[in-house]
Structure 1
Amino acid sequence: MPMNSNQNNFIVSPKQPYFVMATSRYYKAVVMNYGISHFYCFNNDIIGNSMIAVPDGCIDILFCCDEKEPYANICGTVLQPRVIPNKRNYYFGIRFLPGLTLTAKQTVMSDFVENEIPFLEVIEDQELFEKITTSRDFNYQIQEFMKMYMVLYQKSLASDKHLDLKNFMLKRINETAGQIKVNELAEQAGYSVRYINKVFTKEFGLPPKVFCKLMRFQYLLSNLNNFDKNIFDANLAQLSIELGYYDQSHMIRDFYELTNTTPGKYIHSLKEKEYNKRLIVL
């Protein structure tokens, strides 16, 4: 659910790098506020029939703006890398900050984990669906979505009895790059481990230990995306220490589990696909 508007204190900017590498131009409008990480749009015009989603602890709303068969899904985080089938088309998406989503009737965060639910089953707004799927104007799509979303967002703030605790837990997880242990989180929040596990799992859809693992992975992705290939080997061991892995081998195992590739091969893919040229931050 959305939290308060002070989201620019959060550090994690969740990434789906294979979405970027699947197209020639991936446009990203950063928000980092109101529970939203960023908006994005792209044409799937390179590899055609699929993309790979990696775990990010986030919920996305993805609109396929096909002239004949438009659709939109609310997509929860995957827990392992997953091939996502799609059409060659124009897509518009909203990525929420890790653990957060819009408030909707009869849904909880756990409903979305490793799942896709049609947008209109959760948000019964046919007019918004048609406005977004019939347009390819990125700014217009953002504006129309925000008109609907901010009403739900403000209502959620007023009714969220765990707002302060949720803010605190997410802030500490982000500040520690996902390295904080559940007992430390509980102690700092002033609650029992059992209570923290219960509230966290209910509100965010994942146990805090799993969520922390995904956040550490996302920090790792961010660091790898900024690596110079020529100094990669010299820095990998140091990076594993900074991110709290037991050693370099532990980091590589975790990375492989969540991407089906190694950090070295991932770096090579970024260079080969010219990731930084395809990603256009507005």
Structure 2
Amino acid sequence: MNNDFYYKAIEPDESLLDFVENIGMFHNKSDKPMEVVLMPDGRIDLFFMQSESKAFQVTLIGLENVPEQQVIPENTLAFKISFKPLGAEYLLQTSIADILNSAKILPEDFWNMTTDDLKNFDAFHTKIAKKLKEILPKEIDERKRKLFKLVYATNGEIKVLELSEKIFWSSREINRYFNKQFGLSLNAFCKILRFKASLEHIAKGRLFPELNFTDQTHFIKEIKKFSGVVPSELLKNKDDRFILLSVLKQQ
């Protein structure tokens, strides 16, 4: 990865695993902006960010189902929480349907975080983990918890009908829940998870379908849909512009 770009992420402890994928940070240490491509990854990101050109800002980024060109300003430092969908519902306690492929600015004092909290990542991690555990509701809809466990365990390759039968929740109600809460269907979310799992294979140079794609043509089409380029171009990752792939290559 670009030596001017530093990334770090820590998985939460078991009590938060159904709600949070990781707590992390990135730092563009360069005095030049970075042009990057954000690819769908099934996460909802809450950023606490500052740079030379922008004051402290709190931003919530919804789910994405298309790739997006973005510019990270020079000397930008960001600490973040990457939520799973249940985290948006139960920890942020909000629908994110209105920010599909979009974002919104939150109050600067959200969760009582300030610029001082961006001085030390370990202290930030400790503070945020404590906060998340404090606001985690005692009552969780176990159908939803089981639904996401099955979806993640299969990299999105489980059929909606099979899910419905396993958790005793009708397909129609599941899709109504997804569209109202997250802004897309369960099937669309599953395709994003399958794409993300395929990225792990591409990062290792395996440019052929290993998951439930119809054939090579279908695989290439789906990868291009979510990244904007074919798998071979994605693997090259010119100028490390596909940050998610760069991170996977380091793992």
Same fold flag (TM > 0.5): yes
Q: Which amino acid aligns with 1:249?
A: T
Q: Residue by residue, what CA displacement relative to the aligned partner does 1:226-245 show, whole Å, maximum 9, x if unpaired? A: x1x4xx4xxx44xx1x3100
Contact in 2 for aligned 1:24/1:43 (Cα 8 Å):
yes
Structure 1 residue 209 and structure 2 residue 177: aligned?
no
Change in 2 beyond 3 A, CA 1:70/1:221: same
Structure 2: stretches of 5+ with no match in the other structure: none
Secondary structure (helix, strand or coil) at the match of 1:27 reads strand
Structure 1 residue 142 and structure 2 residue 142: aligned?
no
Structure 1: stretches of 5+ with no match in the other structure: 1-19
Partner of 2:227: 259
Partner of 1:167: 145
Partner of 1:41: 25
User: TM-score scaled to structure 1, two decimals?
Assistant: 0.74
Partner of 1:103: 91
Return the alpha-carbon distance in structure 2 between the equivalents of residues 95 and 277 of structure 1: 16
Partner of 1:10: none
- Alignment equivalent of 2:69, drawn from 79, 83, 100: 83
- Alignment equivalent of 2:177, drawn from 196, 199, 207: 199
Return the alpha-carbon distance in structure 1 between the equivalents of residues 212 and 171 of structure 2: 21
Structure 1 residue 31 and structure 2 residue 19: aligned?
no
Contact in 2 for aligned 1:62/1:93 (Cα 8 Å):
yes
- How many angstroms does 1:145 deviate by? 1.9
Which deviates further from its counterpart, 266-275 or 108-117? Answer: 266-275
Partner of 1:93: 80
Q: Which amino acid aligns with 1:149?
A: L
Return the alpha-carbon distance in structure 2 between the equivalents of residues 181 and 80 of structure 1: 22
Contact in 2 for aligned 1:43/1:91 (Cα 8 Å):
yes
- How many angstroms does 1:21 deviate by? 5.6
Q: Residue by residue, what CA displacement relative to the aligned partner does 1:112-143 show, whole Å, maximum 9, x if unpaired? A: 3222122328x744x323442xx321101112
Q: Which amino acid aligns with 2:64?
A: V
* 1:220-231 equivalences in 2 (<5 Å): 220-225=198-203, 227=204, 229=205
Q: Which amino acid aligns with 2:83?
A: F
Which deviates further from its counterpart, 253-262 or 32-41? Answer: 32-41
Q: Residue by residue, what CA displacement relative to the aligned partner does 1:54-103 show, whole Å, maximum 9, x if unpaired? A: 11121101121336611120111221111123322111111113553253
Q: What percent of counterpart residues are identical? A: 23
Structure 1 residue 58 and structure 2 residue 36: aligned?
no
RMSD (Å), alpha carbons:
2.9
Contact in 2 for aligned 1:22/1:51 (Cα 8 Å):
no
Partner of 1:13: none
- How many angstroms does 1:146 deviate by? 2.4
Which runs of 4 or more aligned residues in structure 1 lie more than 4 Å from their structure 2 counterparts after TM superposition? 20-23, 270-274, 276-279
- How many angstroms does 1:192 deviate by? 2.3
- How many angstroms does 1:170 deviate by? 0.9
Return the alpha-carbon distance in structure 2 between the equivalents of residues 98 and 223 of structure 1: 24
Partner of 1:246: 214
Q: Residue by residue, what CA displacement relative to the aligned partner does 1:247-269 show, whole Å, maximum 9, x if unpaired? A: 01101110001111111111122
| Number of aligned residue pairs | 241
Change in 2 beyond 3 A, CA 1:77/1:272: closer
- How many angstroms does 1:41 deviate by? 1.7
Q: Which amino acid aligns with 1:24?
A: F
Change in 2 beyond 3 A, CA 1:36/1:55: same
Return the alpha-carbon distance in structure 2 between the equivalents of residues 278 and 182 of structure 1: 32
Contact in 2 for aligned 1:56/1:215 (Cα 8 Å):
yes
Contact in 1 for aligned 2:200/2:248 (Cα 8 Å):
no
Q: Which amino acid aligns with 1:146?
A: A
Q: Which amino acid aligns with 2:60?
A: I
Return the alpha-carbon distance in structure 2 between the equivalents of residues 37 and 61 of structure 1: 12
Q: Residue by residue, what CA displacement relative to the aligned partner does 1:5-61 show, whole Å, maximum 9, x if unpaired? A: xxxxxxxxxxxxxxx669532122222641111122222135614332111121101
Change in 2 beyond 3 A, CA 1:95/1:70: same
